[in-house]
Structure formats: structure tokens, C-alpha cells
Amino acid sequence: MKILSTTAVFIFAIAVTGCSTSIMRTRMMQHFWNEVVEGEGVESRLKPQRAVAPPLSSTSLEELVSFAWTNRPTVVSKRLAVEDERLALKQIRADAPVLSDNPIGGVDVSATIGHSESSRSANSLRKKTDGNASGTLSLDLLLWDFGRNDARARAQCEKVVSAERALYEEALSVFSQTSDAYFGLYEKLALFDVAVSNETEYAEHLRRAETKLECGEGRKLDVLRARLDHATACEATVSASNDVAVAKAELLRALGAASFGEEKRVEDALVSLRKGFARSRATEAEILDFAMTNSPAMAIAHAKFRAASAAVDEAIAELYPEISASISLNWTDPLWYWRWGVSAVQSLFTGWRKTTAVDRAIVAMESAAADVDESGKALALSVSVAVSERDTALEALRTAETSVREAAENLSTVKEQLEIGEADRVDFSQAASAYAKALGSRVGAFYRAQRAEAAIFSVSGEMPVYSEGRYEAK
């Protein structure tokens, strides 16, 4: 009797100790976050951290994307969602019956111990009572549930897959945003270089006009117009510089950072060598075939369909009973006894609620199948648009490069004719403007092509492949 009582007390103490440790840890976390959200530490703990991105002058696009994957809160949230779904799967598997691949999950052990008092007589109002101690040690076994837990676990496995692919989808989204902001900054920098070159060209033209006027070979009107052209070019340079500052801020936002590492001015620190993407040669059919297997959106749609199919199995399993067994050891001072038994629980009539649940599960599965089809069509459209944008941008780049060569040759010819008096200021202004416009078009077409390559990676679900790419706007 004493041994039994001591054993029950020992098991109860271990259970209480384990639960109290878990509860203490949970309460500490609750206290911490309550203090963060509602307490005095709000300003210091919820204030965005001033994450410093690496210097742009020594950083590639690949490194910046990796930095964004680490610092963007949306990616962190998706990672936590994956962890939560995995824990939910672990919790479901803990309820598996004994006759399954996880027999330990179907075992529940519990212990109770207590003391009760009762009056000696029915009308006793004084402290004349008799008391006794009692304890129970029970073992409950879920033997078989006709596949309920297995179906629930399979559905949860698909939710884990969906969460993992959603994390990958978010990573590709962050990559797309970062690369878009990155190329946006470099595009503005290239246009700034074009504006500076154009300003230098007009400054040289103004110097020549003033020299001719001093030598008596020019007109004051030509000098005034040259000054006006130079002032306009200076305004364009200032505007381009402001665009660079805005683009830099957009890149910082895409990175989830507050500032870049110490460096010189962005315009001075960056060189012409860029980390970009090689020109893809894959056709639309090849990309679509790859995307149907690797696109996160398609993977999520398929996972949801499989989860819905598992939900149908679970609804059908709910129509059958649960078979369980129990063994218990009871002690009420001074008596003790034990008992065991097997039970099967089956509801005879539930107002067709269970059969209706099966019908609803089938409808949900059919809806998930329709979503798979819809996702495939949307993916095909996205791939078609991305490939079309890539081909259009590459063709525009080839045309722009030809225009730059022709505009440069025309400007050089006008300069020579201007020196010998066969061209006037209007000819020079038009030639210089045409050259600057051609340079700007080439810049825009180049970075449009880079964005199109990045879009193909995001749509197809392929991890980006970086390569060195050189582009000089002169």
C-alpha cells in the first residue's frame, strides 16, 4: 500500500514539475511580448532597428538579395509560419492510435491524488469529520480510429508543404523587389551620367561661343542661347541627381535597411561593372514546362488539393467508431483496486451532420481542383508576358545601341561643321539632344531587359543565377 502511494505521488510530482517548467517558460514569453506591445518598453523594443546594408560600391546584387532575405520582416513571418505548421503536425501525430506507425502517440498516462473530508452525522455543524486519502493511476489507449488521425496528419503535411512553398514564394518576391529597386538605382545613375555628359557638352559649346565672341568671330545672340542650353542641361543634371537619391531610398526599403555602409557619394562610388543576369535563351514553352513543376504558386495549389483530398478521407473516417482500451489503478484509503476494459464509441444518428460533412469535403476538394486549373492558366499567362517583355526589351536594346552609334556620329559631324561655319547653334542643339536621348533610351532598354530576366526567375520559380554584366553609359 505504501509503495503504491509513494509511486503515485512520485509520478504526479514529475508530471507537475514538467508542466510547471513549460508553463513558466510560456509565461515568461507572454510577459516579454506583453511588455513589448503594451508596456513601457514599446519605444525601445518596437522601434525599427537601423540595419546597415553593406556599401554599394563593393556589393553585388546577389549579396543585397541575401541581405534582404535575412532582414525583411515578411520573410521572417513566413519562416515562423512554417515552424508553426510543423509544430501543428507534431501535435496531430501525438494523437495517433496504437495501431499505427506512431504507437506511442495513442498512450495517455494520468495520475490523481487527493484528500476528502465528510461529516460523521448528517446534521453535524461542528468539526466532527472523517477524512481519507485517494489516488488513481490510469493508462488510456486509443487502439484504432479507422484512419482519422492518419488523414488529419496527411492534410497537415500538405499545409507544411504550402507554408514552405509560401516562404519560397516570398523569397522570390523579395528578390524581385530588390532586383527591381537595384536596377532602378543603376538606371538612374546611368541617366545621371548621361545628364552630366550632356551638361559637359553644352558647357564646352558655351566656352567656344564665348571664345568666338571675344575674337570677333561670333555673335552675342549665340552666346546667350548657348548659356540657356547650358542652364537647361544643369537643371536636368540636378533632376537626375534627385532621382538617384529617391532610387537609393527605394532600394533601402526593399532591403529592409535604414542606410548603407560608409562610402563616398553613390554617384562616385559605383563603377560600370554590374551584377546582373545573363541573357536567357529558353523559349516560352521550355520556361512554362519548368514553371509548372517549380513555381511556388502551382506547388501551393497542388498541396491544397492534396490536403482537401485528405480532408475527405477524414470526413469518411468520422462515420466509423473509435476503439480504445483503458487500465487504471485506484486507491482509497484503506482500499485499492484496479480495472481494465475495451470500448467502442459510435454515434447512431447525428441528423446527417457527418454525411453532410463528407459532401462538403468533396465540394472543397473539387474547388481545390478548380484552383489548380486556374493557377495553371494564370501561370501560363504570366510566363507569356514575362517572355514577351524580355524579347521586346532585347529588341529595343539592339535598336537603341544602333541609335547611339548614329547619334554619336551625327554629333561629331555637326561639331566639325560648326568649327568651319557650315552648321549653326540649332544644328548643334538638335544633335546633342538626339545623342542624349539615344543614350537615355539605351539605358532604359538595358535595365528593362534586366528586370524582364528577373521576372522570369520569379514567375518560373527558379532561383536567380547571377553573372557579370558590363554596361557603360557614355
Q: Is the dihedral of CA 300, 302, 305, 310 positive or negative?
A: negative
CA distance 112 to 331: 10
* Residue 394: all three cell numbers together: 532585347
Q: Is the dihedral of CA 265, 267, 268, 273 positive or negative?
A: positive
Identity at 138, one-letter amino acid code:
S
List, as one string, the DSSP characters of 142-210: EEE-TTHHHHHHHHHHHHHHHHHHHHHHHHHHHHHHHHHHHHHHHHHHHHHHHHHHHHHHHHHHHHHHH
Tell me the backbone φ, ψ of residue 282, rounded to 5 degrees: -70, 145
Q: pLDDT value at position 28?
A: 59
Q: What is the pLDDT along the chain (474 residues), one digit of tens a residue?
A: 444 445 544 444 545 455 556 556 555 555 554 554 444 444 443 344 446 777 676 677 888 888 888 888 889 899 999 999 999 999 888 888 887 777 777 778 888 888 877 766 655 555 566 777 888 888 888 888 888 889 999 999 999 999 999 999 999 999 999 988 988 888 888 888 888 888 888 888 788 777 877 777 677 777 788 888 888 888 988 998 899 889 888 988 888 877 776 554 554 444 444 556 877 788 889 999 999 999 999 999 999 999 999 999 999 988 888 888 888 888 777 777 788 887 777 777 777 888 888 999 999 999 999 999 999 999 999 999 999 999 998 899 889 888 888 888 888 888 787 777 777 667 777 788 888 888 888 888 888 888 888 899 889 988 888 875 544 433
Residue-range domain boundaries for the chain: 61-115+131-470
* Residue 473: all three cell numbers together: 553609359
What are the residues facing 110 on neighbouring strands?
138
* Residue 198: all three cell numbers together: 550632356
Q: pLDDT value at position 122?
A: 57
Angle 62-83-466 (CA atoms, 0-180°, nearest 5)?
10
pTM (two decimals): 0.74
CA distance 312 to 295: 26
Please report, to the nearest 10 degrees, the dihedral formed by the alpha carbons of residues 284, 290, 296, 299 taken in order: 120
- Under 8 Å between Cβ of 186 and 274: yes
Q: Closest Cα to residue 190, out of 413, 399, 427, 469? A: 469
**Beta strand residue intervals within 221-294, DSSP E:** 259-260, 273-276
Instruction: Classify domain 61-115+131-470 at the CATH class level.
Output: mainly alpha
Q: How many CB atoms lie within 10 A of CB 177?
A: 21
Q: pLDDT value at position 41?
A: 44
Q: pLDDT value at position 273?
A: 43
CA distance 133 to 201: 102
- Under 8 Å between Cβ of 439 and 404: yes
